[in-house]
């Protein structure tokens, strides 16, 4: 591989070969072709320490949590709660009880829609979302608006895929009850200035939910510094197993919210006349949780922290700039999402070629990208495309893999010339 001038100090300290050795799936070949996995915004791969942790839990530690007096249950409970402390540390939350385990980002948002929205949003009230939200941060609010006769307001964006903050400020009025906005756009890669946006909302007395599904895997997150009221993300996008996610909420809000689901574990006492709900965080964790996945998430956060989120962010940024520069050199490429501040998501169109053809042809050479609307159809409409091809990088990707992407796109162009 050629030496690239864009590669700076952070890359040299970042031993990507060493990291890749931790991810068994990256060694996989399809018909002899090495896998080039560039669909990390959809789901990331799992390193061996997380797989090992998952296995050890099932071999040595499994029982139900928060129930029995026997040793195994106590061990499982301790490991599960230990994972919660790891999440607290990872996002710098104040208290463990502010960390609710969910099934994923989608369930976390639905929990807030139910627990906060149904309780505090009524007829004529307004919810502000942005033009670049994933469907999971649109549809629950639309459902609530329909139910309550409330109104959805949308922060517009410019052609680069940056939110228009002046327009955002104008959306506030005395009926505004919530802002729900992505920290990083999954379709465009834009990193939104959520800290400033939260400050704006708070000046109007409005709480903010931040969808961190695409941010938590790629940037250091400090919920107290952001001062967000809710922060949500998924495990499977940050090297953890599927089926586990997180809702962070300020304790003051979570205390006021109604439970999301009723059942075991979320109660203190039940009679046929009345039920007393459990304290935080258990009030929101009805039923047996995804214990193994939560412990796996804890192991994944350990792995990311050991690697260093600052270093991950710096390395991915170099990968993004390299891939963007190389892709931009090709004729007939339109980048969708050219914000100044971006995470390592490269959404693009190849002139005259449908994204699905791009995706299928890249797949011939083992290059796995996403082609589609990325569950963000309003973004596609905003840019006037039915779909885009999207390469999304993780810290285990290499510059050689970025080259493989570019070579694949060149092949597409040759075939369709």
Closest CB 375 distance from another protein, rounded Å? 10
The whole-angstrom distance between residue 234's C-alpha and the CA centroid of its chain comes to: 6
Nearer to another protein, 27 or 276 (CB): 27
Among positions 13, 334, 356, 410, the unique one binding another protein when judged by CB under 8 A: 356
Which of 326, 321, 364 lies closest to 345, judged by CA?
A: 321
Which of 231, 195, 239 lies closest to 213, judged by CA?
A: 231
Determine, following the binding rule CB under 8 A, whether residue 253 of this chain makes contact with another protein.
Answer: no
Closest CB 316 distance from another protein, rounded Å? 27
CB count within 10 Å of CB 20 equals 17
224-to-88, 91, 195, 228, 230 alpha-carbon distances in Å: 11, 8, 10, 7, 11
Determine, following the binding rule CB under 8 A, whether residue 357 of this chain makes contact with another protein.
Answer: yes
Determine, following the binding rule CB under 8 A, whether residue 332 of this chain makes contact with another protein.
Answer: no
Question: Cα 202–198–170 angle (5° rounding)?
Answer: 75
239 is catalytic: no
Give the whole-angstrom CA distance, residue 4 versus residue 18: 20
Determine, following the binding rule CB under 8 A, whether residue 187 of this chain makes contact with another protein.
Answer: no
Any idea what DSSP says for residue 265?
T
Determine, following the binding rule CB under 8 A, whether residue 135 of this chain makes contact with another protein.
Answer: no
Among positions 128, 387, 391, 406, the unique one binding another protein when judged by CB under 8 A: 387
Determine, following the binding rule CB under 8 A, whether residue 354 of this chain makes contact with another protein.
Answer: yes
Determine, following the binding rule CB under 8 A, whether residue 364 of this chain makes contact with another protein.
Answer: yes
Give the whole-angstrom CA distance, residue 165 versus residue 155: 8
Nearer to another protein, 112 or 362 (CB): 362
Closest CB 364 distance from another protein, rounded Å? 5
Determine, following the binding rule CB under 8 A, whether residue 410 of this chain makes contact with another protein.
Answer: no
Closest CB 385 distance from another protein, rounded Å? 8
Determine, following the binding rule CB under 8 A, whether residue 416 of this chain makes contact with another protein.
Answer: yes
Q: Read off φ and ψ for residue 403, nearest 5 degrees.
A: -60, -40
Q: Read off φ and ψ for residue 264, nearest 5 degrees.
A: -75, 160
- Torsion sign (Cα): 410, 384, 324, 345: negative
Determine, following the binding rule CB under 8 A, whether residue 374 of this chain makes contact with another protein.
Answer: no
Give the whole-angstrom CA distance, residue 392 versus residue 42: 8
Which of 233, 216, 184, 188 lies closest to 345, judged by CA?
A: 188
Q: Determine which one of 145, 228, 239, 375 is catalytic.
A: 375
Determine, following the binding rule CB under 8 A, whether residue 42 of this chain makes contact with another protein.
Answer: no
Determine, following the binding rule CB under 8 A, whether residue 408 of this chain makes contact with another protein.
Answer: no
* Binding span for another protein by CB under 8 A among 46-54, 279-287, 315-323, 357-365: 357-365
Whether 295 and 57 have beta carbons less than 8 Å apart is answered as: yes
Determine, following the binding rule CB under 8 A, whether residue 360 of this chain makes contact with another protein.
Answer: yes
136-to-92, 126, 282, 374, 376 alpha-carbon distances in Å: 24, 18, 24, 11, 9
Among positions 212, 241, 372, 408, the unique one binding another protein when judged by CB under 8 A: 372
384-403: string of b/e by CB count within 10 Å (b at 16+)?
A: eeebbbbbbbbbbbbbebbb
Whether 128 and 153 have beta carbons less than 8 Å apart is answered as: yes
Determine, following the binding rule CB under 8 A, whether residue 353 of this chain makes contact with another protein.
Answer: yes
Closest CB 113 distance from another protein, rounded Å? 25
Closest CB 416 distance from another protein, rounded Å? 7
User: What's the chain's Rg over C-alpha atoms?
Assistant: 22
Determine, following the binding rule CB under 8 A, whether residue 227 of this chain makes contact with another protein.
Answer: no
Among positions 373, 374, 382, 390, the unique one binding another protein when judged by CB under 8 A: 373
Task: Give strand pairing partners of 184.
Answer: 191
Nearer to another protein, 184 or 380 (CB): 380
Tell me the per-residue interface mask from 9 to 38 with another protein, x by CB under 8 A, - otherwise. Answer: ---------------------xx-x-----
Determine, following the binding rule CB under 8 A, whether residue 363 of this chain makes contact with another protein.
Answer: yes
Among positions 366, 395, 405, 409, the unique one binding another protein when judged by CB under 8 A: 366
* Positions marked active-site: 375
Q: Provide the binding-site residues for another protein, judged by CB under 8 A.
A: 30-31, 33, 353-357, 360-361, 363-366, 372-373, 386-387, 415-416
């Amino acid at each position: 591989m050629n030496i690239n001038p864009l590669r700076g100090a952070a890359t040299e300290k970042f031993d990507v070969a060493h990291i890749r050795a931790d991810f068994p799936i990256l060694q996989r070949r399809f018909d002899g072709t090495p896998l080039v996995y560039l669909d990390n915004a959809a789901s990331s791969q799992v390193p061996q320490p997380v797989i090992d942790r998952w296995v050890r839990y099932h071999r040595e530690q499994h029982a139900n949590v928060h129930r029995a007096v026997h040793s195994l249950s106590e061990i499982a409970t301790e490991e599960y709660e230990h994972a919660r402390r790891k999440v607290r540390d990872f996002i710098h939350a104040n208290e463990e009880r502010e960390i609710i385990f969910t099934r994923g980002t989608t369930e976390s948002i639905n929990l807030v829609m139910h627990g906060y929205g149904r309780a505090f949003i009524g007829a004529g009230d307004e919810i502000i979302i942005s033009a670049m939200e994933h469907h999971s941060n649109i549809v629950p609010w639309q459902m609530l608006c329909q139910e309550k006769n409330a109104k959805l307001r949308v922060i517009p964006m410019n052609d680069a895929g940056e939110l228009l903050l002046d327009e955002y400020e104008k959306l506030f009025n005395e009926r505004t009850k919530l802002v729900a906005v992505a920290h990083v756009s999954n379709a465009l890669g834009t990193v939104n200035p959520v800290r400033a946006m939260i400050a704006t909302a708070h000046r109007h007395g409005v709480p903010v939910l931040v969808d961190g599904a695409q941010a938590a895997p790629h940037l250091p997150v400090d919920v107290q510094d952001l001062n967000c009221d809710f922060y949500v993300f998924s495990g499977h996008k940050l090297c953890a197993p599927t089926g586990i996610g997180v809702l962070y909420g300020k304790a003051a809000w979570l205390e006021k919210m109604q439970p999301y689901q009723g059942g075991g574990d979320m109660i203190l006492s039940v009679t046929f006349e009345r039920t007393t709900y459990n304290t935080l965080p258990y009030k929101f964790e009805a039923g047996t949780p995804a214990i193994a996945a939560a412990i796996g998430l804890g192991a994944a956060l350990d792995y990311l922290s050991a690697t260093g989120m600052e270093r991950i962010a710096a390395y991915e940024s170099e990968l993004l700039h390299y891939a963007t520069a190389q892709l931009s050199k090709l004729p007939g490429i339109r980048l969708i999402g050219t914000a100044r501040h971006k995470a390592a998501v490269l959404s693009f169109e190849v002139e005259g070629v449908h994204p699905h053809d791009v995706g299928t042809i890249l797949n011939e050479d083992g290059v796995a990208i996403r082609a589609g609307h990325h569950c963000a159809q309003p973004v596609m409409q905003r840019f006037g495309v039915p779909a885009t091809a999207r390469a999304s990088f993780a810290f285990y990707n290499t510059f050689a893999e970025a080259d493989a992407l570019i070579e694949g796109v060149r092949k597409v162009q040759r075939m369709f010339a």
